[in-house]
Structures are given as C-alpha cells and as structure tokens.
Amino acid sequence: MEKINLRASFEKSGRAVFISHLDLVRTMQRAIKRSKLPVWYTQGFNPRIYLNFPLALSLGVVGKKEYMDFAVTEEVDIDKARETLDRAMPEGLGIISIDKPVHENKEIAFAEYTIKFTGGATGVEMLSELEKMMSMDTIEVDKHSKSKGTVKIDIKPHIIIIGTESSEHSLAVNIQLPAGLSLNINSNVFVEAYSSLSGIVFENIYAERTNILLSDGENFM
C-alpha cells in the first residue's frame, strides 16, 4: 500500500491547552477518522492511524504553530485536505496548513516562547528581578530523565532573551530555549526558575510556544 507522508501545522489554544499529549494523539486520531481522508494505518496485529508529533507541547501552554506528521494512501488536494481536517477538529484545535515534510524531526534545535507574568509586583520590579536572574553565574534547576533520574543542570547558557515588554502590573518575555534531541528545556523550566528566584507570587502566568526552529535559525517545516 502506498504511503505518502504529510505534515500538518496546527494551533492549540483555549480549553485544548489542558489536553495532555496522550489525549491529543487520541483526539487527532478521532478527528482524522471523521475527516474521511485516505489515511495510512500502521501494519501488524493492531493497525492504527500513524501519527507523529515532532515536538511535544507542555500541558497548559498555547501552541501557535505545532506540527503533526501523518500519511495518506493516495495523493490528495492539499488545500481541500486542510479544510476537511480543520472542520473535523474540536474546539481549541485548528489546522493551519498541510504540506509534505521538508525537514526531519531530528533537525529541530530551538523553540521560541512568549511568557506573560501578571500581578504580584509591578512590571518594572518583575523586569528588575529577571535582569538579576540573568546576571547570575549559574541558574541551576532539577531536570528529570529516565536514564539518570533527577539531576541538576545549569540552564543559564541556554536561555536567550529575545525581548521584554513591561506594563504597570505585567511583564512579557520572549525567549528562545533548546529543543533538540541532546537538550530540551521547555518553558515550564524557565517559569519555575524565575518564579523561585524572584520570590514573586504571580497572579497569572500565560505561556505560548510561537515557533520551532532549526539550528541555523530557520523555521522547521
């Protein structure tokens, strides 16, 4: 049976940000079934719709442009496939585009985030605490791994502050973090470090992943 690989980019927002990665896989499988696309199933004793997510998104984080790989058994009209699949999506999930993959998943190197901290201090105070943190020699956090258990790592060299914007009672931080196979630091790690070191009890923290990048800074596609 022919297998034609496709890559869908999608947005995850609203109530959908509280869908776990495992539940997201199930949700997408059901949506693809509803779409009636000629989807390719894995072979073997228990066939299932082939799905692969190049970079999982943390629970509670908005995804502005996430990616999902799947396959079909015959050539399809890309624009019609996008419209058909988008109509099958539940609230909070929307298909942006569908195309044939350009890059391999292993080429992913970075992810960009916008994180907005609100309440607990003025925006000026929040920015001052962020600058203090980034001036430290090291920023050690606990990182969990299946092979090594819990280990301490220094995330300071891996945080790139792209920009900040403060208002009376909030601070928005645009950052780039490593997201490759060798090192993956998600936005929650940064948020926990900043919250702990600043000592500020924020009223609300909003985070969204805005882009996924290759090592040369080009967009993953």
Per the CB < 8 A criterion, the answer to whether 172 and 115 are in contact is: yes
pLDDT on residue 94? 97
Extract the runs of DSSP E, i.e. beta strands, from 61-218.
Answer: 62-72, 93-99, 108-118, 140-145, 149-154, 160-167, 170-178, 204-214
CA 209 to chain centre: 5
Query: Using CA atoms, how far apart are residues 19 and 30, in angstroms rounded to an integer?
Result: 14
Query: Using CA atoms, how far apart are residues 208 and 210, in angstroms rounded to an integer?
Result: 6
pLDDT on residue 34? 95
Both tokens of 16, joined, read 């959908």
pLDDT in tens, the chain (221 residues): 789 999 999 999 999 999 999 999 999 999 999 999 999 999 878 888 999 999 999 999 999 999 999 999 999 999 999 999 999 999 999 999 999 999 999 999 999 999 999 999 999 999 999 999 999 999 999 877 666 778 889 999 999 999 999 999 999 999 999 998 888 999 999 999 999 999 999 999 999 999 999 999 999 99
pLDDT on residue 214? 96
Query: Using CA atoms, how far apart are residues 97 and 199, in angstroms rounded to an integer?
Result: 42
First to last CA, the chain: 26
pLDDT on residue 1? 72
Query: Using CA atoms, how far apart are residues 67 and 18, in angstroms rounded to an integer?
Result: 17
